Amino acid sequence: MSSEASRRRGYIRSMDGWWRRDPFFVRYMAREATALLVVAYAVVLLVGLIRLAQGEAAYNAWLDALSTPWSLALHALLLVVFVYHTWSWFLIMPKTMPLMFVEGGKVPAAVITGAGLVVAAVCCLALVVAVKLFAP
């Protein structure tokens, strides 16, 4: 490249650490990082299904591995991460969905977020109750 061409390009700002410059982007990256942990836990559950298909001994070994102190600590951490992921997901929902109108008025963002969180909590509670009622 000639020196003339390099002078015309001008200043190019470095993109290193772009997401750390603004709190909005820090929250965005945290939300995206929690999605990776959701995927990792889905793999843990998939392994449980594979072990279940392999028979009772393999499944019981998987359950024993889940009951170790390290696994319990990991699950406690994942619970906190999943709650943050759920909260942040419903927090951005009003910004990503089409405008909603009820009786001629725009539905406030707080109502949309709150409704999503309530539905998520009710579904989680229903799942816990179903497991307690129908588990052997």
Model pTM score: 0.71
Q: What single-letter amino acid sits at 79?
A: L
In a domain, 3, yes or no: no
pLDDT in tens, 3-18: 565 567 777 777 787 7
In a domain, 20, yes or no: yes
pLDDT-derived band at 25 (thresholds 50, 70, 90) equals: confident
In a domain, 27, yes or no: yes
- Which pLDDT score, from 0 to 100, does residue 2 have? 55
Question: What's the domain range around 112?
Answer: 16-134
In a domain, 6, yes or no: no
At 54 the three-state DSSP class reads helix
In a domain, 21, yes or no: yes
Distant-in-sequence, close-in-space partners of 31: CB < 8 Å, separation ≥ 6: 84, 85, 88, 89, 92
- Which pLDDT score, from 0 to 100, does residue 120 have? 94
pLDDT in tens, 43-83: 999 999 999 999 999 999 999 999 999 999 999 999 999 99
- Which pLDDT score, from 0 to 100, does residue 17 have? 78
In a domain, 1, yes or no: no
Q: Mean pLDDT over residues 111-128, rounded? A: 94
Cα 90 from Cα 92, distance rounded (Å):
5
In a domain, 4, yes or no: no
What is the number of domains present in the chain? Answer: 1
Name the region of 128 (left: φ>0; alpha: ψ -120 to 50; beta: rest).
alpha
Query: Could you tell me the CATH number of the domain that includes residue 64?
Result: 1.20.1300.10
